[in-house]
Amino acid sequence: MRRAQVMLNRYSKRVGGGATPYLFTRQKDSAKLAHNADVTDYYEQIVCYMLPHTMARKVWLEATGTPAPWKWRNICPHSTPGCRAACLVHSGRLGKDHAKRAMLARTALYNAHPKLFWEQVSHEIAVHQKRVEDKGKRLVVRLDGTSQINIWETAPEIVKHFEGVIFQDYVKGPYKTEWAAPNRYQVASGTERDTEVTIRGRGNIVFPVDVKKGDPLPERFLGRRTLDGDKHDLRFFDRQGDYAVLVRVKGSKRDTHGFIRDIDKELTNV
């Protein structure tokens, strides 16, 4: 067995993350990604979920009873108080204890053995690429499901190596929507700090909004025309320009910063 997999297995066993650990979750096993099949049968996506920001330090201590023998890095360097409070890891399947432990094992591998982490990333992408291409489809990789380690900045050689794979992520911070490479698409992700002024010139921007599943979205938001971000997770499929891509997320009690936008309040303030 490869050393990268051995180490991932070791960390998973240590924290109770499962007997057969992996980095990437298949499209059919992710509630968000599963909607892709409603709009296309050509692309199939995989996603990696890790413990965001510096959350892994605390969860490791809770799971093992001892501090980790390495320094934990902040894997969401551009996060805000609002996005940390409303993060997906606090809800749904990812909020379950076994899911957090699986994410912890992945985050431990990234922090303790970054070289092995990227080897495992490459290995799993190759396996999924073959599986998907055998079905006549094209693979889409979303590494930063609940993180922002930004593969284009930290391991661009992987993007360049897998020319037939599309690498897509939502990025916060000083980024704008763009094709950073022929197969690397990144869409800007808004925060509670963004206004109509701060999002100018950044292309499409994704915002979570306090709207019930199935309820209609406003036609305009922060001065932009809107797109329904719930129809799929293939953001390169969206019309490109200066659109606000809205994703319905019921307000989180943890979010007291306004990361999940209150549509009624926003429209009242127009």
**CA atoms of 262 and 270, how far apart (whole Å):** 13
Task: Give me 134's structure tokens.
Answer: 């055998």
Q: What is the pLDDT of residue 32?
A: 86
**CA atoms of 210 and 27, how far apart (whole Å):** 25
Domain boundaries, the chain: 3-268
**Percentage of the chain with pLDDT > 90?**
87
Given a cut of 70, whether residue 251 has pLDDT beyond it is no
Q: What is the pLDDT of residue 253?
A: 67
pLDDT per position as a tens digit, 37-65? 999 999 999 999 999 999 999 999 999 99
pLDDT per position as a tens digit, 147-184? 999 999 999 999 999 999 999 999 999 899 999 999 99
**CA atoms of 214 and 31, how far apart (whole Å):** 15
Supply the pTM of this predicted model. Answer: 0.95
DSSP state of 228: E
Q: Do residues 51 and 149 touch, judged by C-beta distance below 8 A? A: no
Determine the distance from the C-alpha atom of residue 228 to the mean position of all C-alpha atoms in its chain, rounded to a whole number.
18
**CA atoms of 224 and 247, how far apart (whole Å):** 15
**CA atoms of 214 and 222, how far apart (whole Å):** 21
Q: How many helices (H) and strands (E) does the chain have?
A: 8, 10
